[in-house]
Amino acid sequence: MVATYTILGRQVGAHVLAMTTLGTTFAGVYLAMPAKTKEKESGPPINAASKDEEKFIQDFLKNAGGGEKAKT
Q: What is the pLDDT along the chain (72 residues), one digit of tens a residue?
A: 899 999 999 999 999 999 999 999 999 999 999 887 655 556 678 888 999 998 998 899 888 875 455 444
Torsion of CA 4, 7, 9, 12, to 10 degrees: -30
What is the number of other CB atoms lying within 10 angstroms of the CB of residue 58? 16
What is the number of other CB atoms lying within 10 angstroms of the CB of residue 57? 14
Residues constituting the chain: 72
The answer to whether 66 and 43 are in contact (CB under 8 A) is: yes
Q: What is the pTM of this model?
A: 0.48
The answer to whether 50 and 41 are in contact (CB under 8 A) is: no
